[in-house]
Chains A and B, each alone.
Chain A
Amino acid sequence: DAKTTQPNSMESNEEEPVHLPCNHSTISGTDYIHWYRQLPSQGPEYVIHGLTSNVNNRMASLAIAEDRKSSTLILHRATLRDAAVYYCLGSARQLTFGSGTQLTVLP
């Protein structure tokens, strides 16, 4: 599994965009990049995944660097409910979680 590096914490103001970075320089060519988030005392929630092209869904966008060594999760308008720990993972079906980024959304 690819080792990922994320900032420990980030802050954002409500209704502003948030860009959460992730470095995964050891990712293999066939491994997808996954993003999950976890609220306190809950199981993680799937956010998005991608391989090479940028991806969009109703929750977020995923921008993947051309060399695939990094990616950015984009929340277009942060809400208070987006406050969570965001995990970036690079692996096949088996997920190895790093320490993630604690996102705080300020009203």
Chain B
Amino acid sequence: GAVVSQHPSRVICKSGTSVKIECRSLDFQATTMFWYRQFPKQSLMLMATSNEGSKATYEQGVEKDKFLINHASLTLSTLTVTSAHPEDSSFYICSAPWGTELYEQYFGPGTRLTVT
């Protein structure tokens, strides 16, 4: 199957700083990627849809000025958490659709963000 990577796998930052998380499709191109957030013992929550060459689409309640998404190429999407606060600490996961009908989603391994 297809492979999606994320970098870094875990990051600790101080409150008020910004953190960038990269999501790469390693062996296929993805015009669309999805970003999720997952708190402990909870399910994944879709944050936004990243579109190559155009603006991201954010889910209701997700601040687009706080979670900046850039889909710079067909294999790379980045999520920047700006002015991070402890409540932003979470597991961030990206995914990209794959397959002839793009119905299979391949997920990255996730990035554990801890804001101190």
A interface with B by C-beta (< 8 Å): 32, 34, 36, 38, 41-46, 49, 87, 93-100
Contacts and interface: CB of A to CB of B under 8 A. Distances in A.
A94 B38 CA distance: 16
Interface of B: 1, 4, 6, 32, 34, 36, 43-46, 49, 91, 93, 95, 97, 102-110, 112
A83 B94 CA distance: 22
Contact of A43 (B43, B49, B93, B104): B93
B47 to A, nearest CB: 12
A95 B95 contact: yes
Majority secondary structure of chain B interface residues (helix, strand, loop or mixed): strand
A32 B43 contact: no
Contacts, number: 54
Contact of B43 (A42, A93, A98): A98
25 contacts: A32-B103, A34-B105, A36-B105, A36-B107, A38-B44, A41-B110, A43-B4, A43-B93, A43-B108, A44-B44, A44-B107, A46-B1, A46-B107, A49-B104, A87-B43, A93-B102, A94-B34, A95-B34, A95-B46, A95-B95, A95-B105, A97-B45, A98-B43, A99-B43, A100-B43
Contacts of A49: 103-104
A45 B1 CA distance: 10
